[in-house]
């Protein structure tokens, strides 16, 4: 198993660290997808998390305005 971790010194914007364990096959797939987008793994994982959170916020806002 490997860790997904941001490179040190990437800026003060990222103050928290999240470590996850993944099966090797999943890590390799994520690595390929990140490379396709020109990102490192940690940037790609942040992108996916932000994308999911934005969708959740949109769903919550839609549900509140249109019951």
Q: Which of 41, 36, 38, 52 is CA-nearest to residue 18?
A: 41
pTM, entire model:
0.62
Identify whether 44 is part of a domain: yes
Helix (H, G, I), strand (E, B) or coil at 63: helix
As for how many domains the chain has, the answer is 1
Task: Give the residue carrying structure tokens 């806002």.
Answer: 61
Identify whether 27 is part of a domain: yes
Domain extent, residue 29, equals 21-67
Identify whether 11 is part of a domain: no
The DSSP result for 15-36, as a single string, is ------EE-HHHHHHHHHHHHH
pLDDT in tens, 1-56: 344 455 555 555 666 778 889 899 999 999 999 999 999 998 899 899 989 988 88
């Amino acid at each position: 198993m490997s860790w997904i971790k941001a490179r040190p010194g990437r800026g003060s914007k990222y103050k928290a660290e999240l470590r996850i364990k993944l099966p090797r096959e999943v890590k390799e797939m994520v690595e390929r997808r990140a490379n396709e987008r020109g990102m490192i793994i940690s940037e790609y994982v942040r992108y996916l998390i932000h994308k999911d959170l934005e969708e959740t916020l949109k769903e919550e806002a839609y549900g509140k305005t249109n019951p």
